[in-house]
């Protein structure tokens, strides 16, 4: 177990393109870090730089305080689970798991190897498959063999490169829980690359969001969700994604294509004097005004809008409100959609309301908006104008404490 | 084709007939030589396919009789030279193909291009200068004198087949091995070579055939029994008098030289299994 420190890491390819650009992250001992971003953001490259499969162009990589830039992968004592699993097809499951130990001649006795392999197999419920070849296993079983091979190493850290992307949805959920459990039990520093934000939000102690080789924000999932640093992070995290409503702030009134909305002082101050800003509003910040109490209503603002269509999901309901977007932010929104691998520019608001609300297409509904939670963004720079640094830091600090408590609880349970 | 993938009765009949025709066309010469090898000297001109009486005298002649010296030494030369040439070609080609498939180095294209150029260069145009050169440096009529030109025949095709094979092996496997603590050599030997084995065997057999079947180098670069391989030696068989063609003996020898090839294929048939890489990565 070790800490991993990335100091201003840069990866430039021969054509001068920086796939990873000046990234610094401090990964604590035992921490679970997720690298997330759209395809081509450099997350896999960064992982491969840590493990030693890609050269580092500039910057320093420290594992356990020691600089390892020039060390070969085998000298870094890290274990990696590949997206393709990379099992050795000519070896049985047993031999696949034992492979790393067989390479270190004389370090382990036969009995030790056998014990470790069987222990890992028990943890991963592979005992009855030990004599089978990888070709005869299901996707989930192969995935577990790849995990087993990583576990027996007693490596300083685990690196995962989209390990679940080849599994079907149900299995993915199972394995996600499995990986979370194993990581907590072993308390091994882990770096996990994914483009799936469910994995990012559920597994990570902290999540690093990358875009085009640049680190956008690294924080606990809660901080990312509540206090995103910029437009990209705000749009990328969360599903359905955040609505971006253009408008101008005058005093405490925010004029939008949907009408005038009253906003709190904090937002009013941040948006004051600007030509145009983008309000970031998550779908659940809205609600059906007719279902709320007076006390609740007073905490936000109500406005009316025509519902263009609605989707009833059983546990919740999505309503869509179309609006004419402002020309001045069209370019920004189009770029944002492109960066997030999203298909198109949306000029409709997604509103999440209670499943019991009876919204139909064409209805004019009274909607309530929790203005305390919305953020204002600068459409030019993408910067979050209303970000509360302290509140965000507090959320990440809490996540860190949670992790420590988890680890302690597990140690206590063991002894 | 029927939509369910099975053949209808008519189609099956057609395919069977076609197969028989092709097989007959391909195997008739072999059968003719086999039949001839059992004919007596007098029987050779009888214009019938089968010998009128079976005789082993041709086999006796080349294995124990007058032609024994000529045939058996040539047989030994052939086996020795071909095996050595094949072995060297496969080892060199494995390393070379691995480098070509995995590494990016300057001159990679040139190596592949040169290999291709060498393999399409007509043997007959090289053999005369080679004959002079070999005489001057003392390689004429030696095993080494044949092994080197055989390498020029077998190496290019071995490199091309193996490079194609290596490209199919997922690179992840090698990287996984390296992360697991293997040196580059260990990763190659323990993760890549076992997977490449079917390709290596296939290549070895192809290389063996090429060297085994060579005639031009064999007859031009040798003069005595010291290095003469079987295909060349057959041309030096003599009958019991100068008016007799030793057709029977040559047929018998031809059958015998076919045996190692058949044995090789049967032996390695099991090794040449495809689909060994299945399950390495997601299915």
Q: How far is A156 from chain B (nearest CA, A)?
A: 12
> Going by C-beta distance under 8 Å and a sequence separation of 6 or more, which residues neighbour residue B75?
B230, B256, B257
Which residues pair with residue A367 across a beta bridge? A288, A303
CATH topology of domain B69-268: MetI-like fold (1.10.3720)
Contact A84, A166 (CB under 8 A): yes
Q: How far is B276 from chain A (nearest CA, A)?
A: 7
User: Do the Cβ atoms of A88 and B279 come within 8 Å?
Assistant: no
Q: Which residue of B has its CA nearest to A78?
A: B179
- The answer to whether residue B173 neighbours chain A at the CB level (below 8 Å) is yes
User: Is the pLDDT score of A258 beyond 90?
Assistant: no
Contacts of B274 in chain A (CB under 8 A): none
CB pairs under 8 A between A and B: 87
pLDDT at residue B283, rounded to an integer: 37
What is the CA angle B30-B34-B40, rounded to 5? Answer: 145
User: Is the pLDDT score of A344 beyond 80?
Assistant: no
Per the rule left: phi > 0, alpha: psi between -120 and 50, beta: everything else, B52 is: alpha
- pLDDT per residue as tens digits for the range B128-184: 999 999 999 999 999 999 999 999 989 998 998 888 888 888 888 889 999 998 888
- Mean pLDDT score across all residues of chain A: 89
User: Do the Cβ atoms of B180 and A90 come within 8 Å?
Assistant: no
Q: How far is A90 from chain B (nearest CA, A)?
A: 7
Q: How far is B186 from chain A (nearest CA, A)?
A: 8
Task: State the Rg of chain B over Cα.
Answer: 24
Q: How far is B50 from chain A (nearest CA, A)?
A: 50
Asked if this assembly's ipTM is beyond 0.95, the reply is no
User: Which of B179, B278, B282 to probe the A interface (max A CBs under 10 A)?
Assistant: B179
Contact B228, B74 (CB under 8 A): yes
User: Do the Cβ atoms of A136 and B283 come within 8 Å?
Assistant: no
- The answer to whether residue B274 neighbours chain A at the CB level (below 8 Å) is no
Which residues pair with residue A192 across a beta bridge? A34, A160
Measured distance CA(A207)–CA(A200) in Å, rounded: 7
Q: Scan for tokens 């955040």, then name that residue.
A: A242
Of A84, A89, A134, the CB nearest to B195: A89
Of B178, B183, B279, the CB nearest to A135: B279
Measured distance CA(A351)–CA(A349) in Å, rounded: 6
Of A52, A72, A89, the CB nearest to B278: A89
Split at pLDDT 50, 70, 90, the class of B276 is very low
Once rounded to an integer, what is the mean pLDDT over residues A375-400? Answer: 90
pLDDT at residue A227, rounded to an integer: 94
More confident residue, B178 or B274: B178
Contacts of A79 in chain B (CB under 8 A): 179-180
pLDDT at residue A222, rounded to an integer: 93
Once rounded to an integer, what is the mean pLDDT over residues A207-214? Answer: 93
Q: How far is A200 from chain B (nearest CA, A)?
A: 23
Q: Scan for tokens 């260069």, then name that residue.
A: B121
Q: Which residue of B has its CA nearest to A97?
A: B180
Measured distance CA(B154)–CA(B87) in Å, rounded: 10
Once rounded to an integer, what is the mean pLDDT over residues A12-33? Answer: 91
- pLDDT per residue as tens digits for the range A44-85: 999 999 999 999 999 999 999 999 999 999 999 999 999 888
B 193-232: CB under 8 A from A:
194-195
Q: How far is B207 from chain A (nearest CA, A)?
A: 26
Contacts of A84 in chain B (CB under 8 A): 170, 172, 280-282
Q: Domain spanning A4-226 has what CATH number?
A: 3.40.50.300
Per the rule left: phi > 0, alpha: psi between -120 and 50, beta: everything else, B176 is: alpha
> Going by C-beta distance under 8 Å and a sequence separation of 6 or more, which residues neighbour residue A239?
A197, A198
User: Is the pLDDT score of B278 beyond 50?
Assistant: no
Length reported for chain A? 415
pLDDT at residue B238, rounded to an integer: 67
Q: Which residue of B has its CA nearest to A134?
A: B279
User: Do the Cβ atoms of B181 and A153 come within 8 Å?
Assistant: yes
Contacts of B281 in chain A (CB under 8 A): 84-87
Domain map (residue ranges) of chain A = 4-226, 240-387
Contacts of A142 in chain B (CB under 8 A): 279, 282-283
Measured distance CA(A209)–CA(A201) in Å, rounded: 11
Split at pLDDT 50, 70, 90, the class of A283 is very high
User: Do the Cβ atoms of B283 and A84 come within 8 Å?
Assistant: no
Of A78, A86, A153, the CB nearest to B281: A86
The reported pTM is 0.79
Length reported for chain B? 283
Contact A289, A297 (CB under 8 A): yes
Once rounded to an integer, what is the mean pLDDT over residues A370-386? Answer: 91
Contacts of A83 in chain B (CB under 8 A): 172
What is the CA angle A51-A56-A58, rounded to 5? Answer: 145
- The answer to whether residue B280 neighbours chain A at the CB level (below 8 Å) is yes
DSSP 3-state of A322: strand
Q: Which residue of B has its CA nearest to A159?
A: B179
Q: Which residue of B has its CA nearest to A50?
A: B179
- pLDDT per residue as tens digits for the range A155-177: 899 999 999 988 888 888 888 99
Measured distance CA(B93)–CA(B160) in Å, rounded: 8
- pLDDT per residue as tens digits for the range A96-141: 999 999 888 778 889 999 999 999 999 888 999 999 999 889 888 9
More confident residue, B278 or A394: A394
Measured distance CA(A140)–CA(A164) in Å, rounded: 9
DSSP 3-state of A127: helix
DSSP state letter for B280: S
What is the CA angle A156-A30-A56, rounded to 5? Answer: 55
């Amino acid at each position: 177990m070790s800490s991993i420190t990335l100091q201003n890491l840069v990866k430039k390819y021969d054509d001068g393109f920086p796939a990873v650009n000046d990234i610094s992250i401090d990964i604590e001992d035992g921490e679970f870090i997720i690298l997330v971003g759209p395809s081509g953001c450099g997350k896999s490259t960064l992982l491969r730089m840590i493990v030693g499969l890609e050269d580092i162009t500039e910057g320093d990589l420290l594992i356990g305080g020691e600089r390892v830039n020039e060390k070969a992968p085998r000298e870094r004592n890290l274990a990696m689970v590949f997206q393709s699993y990379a099992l050795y097809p000519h070896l049985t499951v047993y031999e696949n798991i034992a492979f790393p130990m067989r390479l270190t001649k004389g370090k382990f006795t036969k009995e030790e190897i056998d014990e470790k392999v069987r222990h890992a197999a028990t943890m991963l419920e592979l005992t009855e498959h030990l004599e089978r070849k990888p070709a005869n296993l299901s996707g989930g079983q192969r995935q577990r063999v790849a995990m087993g091979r990583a576990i027996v190493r007693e490596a300083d850290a685990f690196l995962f490169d989209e390990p679940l992307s080849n599994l079907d949805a149900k299995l993915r959920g199972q394995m996600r829980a499995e990986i979370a459990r194993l990581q907590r039990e072993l308390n091994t520093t882990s770096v996990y690359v994914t483009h799936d934000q469910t994995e990012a939000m559920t597994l990570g102690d902290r999540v690093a969001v990358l875009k085009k080789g640049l680190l956008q924000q690294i924080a606990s999932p809660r901080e990312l969700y509540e206090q995103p640093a910029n437009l990209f992070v705000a749009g990328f995290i969360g599903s359905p994604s955040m609505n971006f409503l253009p408008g101008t702030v005058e005093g405490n009134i925010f004029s939008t294509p949907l009408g005038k909305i009253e906003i709190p002082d904090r937002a009013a101050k941040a948006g004051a004097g600007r030509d145009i800003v983008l309000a970031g509003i998550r779908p659940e910040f809205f609600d059906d005004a007719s279902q709320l109490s007076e006390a609740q209503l007073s905490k936000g603002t109500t406005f009316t809008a025509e519902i263009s269509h609605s989707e009833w999901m059983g546990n919740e309901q999505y309503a869509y409100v179309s609006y004419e977007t402002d020309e001045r932010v069209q370019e920004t929104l189009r770029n944002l959609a492109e960066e997030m691998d999203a298909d198109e520019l949306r000029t409709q608001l997604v509103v999440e309301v209670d499943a019991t609300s009876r919204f139909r297409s064409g209805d004019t509904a009274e909607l309530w908006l929790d203005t305390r939670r919305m953020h204002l963004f600068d459409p030019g720079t993408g910067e979050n104008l209303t970000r509360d640094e302290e509140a965000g830091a507090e959320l990440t600090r809490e996540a860190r404490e949670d992790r420590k408590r988890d680890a302690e609880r597990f140690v206590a349970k063991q002894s | 084709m029927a939509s369910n993938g099975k053949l209808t009765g008519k189609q099956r009949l057609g395919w069977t007939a076609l197969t028989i025709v092709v097989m007959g066309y391909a195997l008739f010469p072999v059968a003719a030589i086999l039949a001839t090898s059992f004919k007596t000297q007098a029987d050779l001109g009888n214009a019938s396919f089968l010998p009128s009486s079976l005789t082993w005298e041709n086999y006796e002649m080349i294995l124990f009789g007058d032609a024994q010296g000529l045939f058996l030494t040539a047989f030994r030369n052939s086996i020795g030279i071909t095996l050595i040439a094949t072995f060297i070609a496969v080892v060199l080609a494995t390393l070379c193909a691995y480098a070509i498939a995995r590494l990016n180095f300057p001159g990679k294209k040139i190596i592949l291009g040169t290999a291709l150029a060498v393999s399409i260069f007509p043997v007959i145009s090289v053999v005369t200068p080679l004959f002079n050169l070999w005489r001057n440096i003392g390689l004429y009529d030696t095993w080494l004198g044949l092994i080197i030109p055989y390498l020029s025949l077998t190496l290019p095709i071995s490199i091309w087949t193996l490079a194609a094979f290596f490209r199919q092996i997922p690179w992840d496997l090698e990287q996984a091995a390296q992360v697991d603590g293997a040196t580059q050599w260990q990763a190659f030997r323990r993760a890549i070579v076992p997977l490449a084995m079917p390709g290596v065997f296939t290549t070895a057999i192809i290389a063996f055939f090429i060297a085994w079947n060579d005639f031009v180098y064999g007859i031009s670069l040798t003069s005595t029994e010291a290095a003469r391989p079987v295909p060349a030696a057959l041309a030096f068989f003599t009958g019991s008098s100068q008016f007799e063609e030793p057709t029977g003996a040559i047929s018998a020898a031809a059958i015998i030289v076919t045996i190692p090839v058949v044995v090789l294929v049967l032996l390695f048939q099991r090794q040449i299994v495809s689909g060994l890489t299945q399950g390495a990565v997601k299915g």
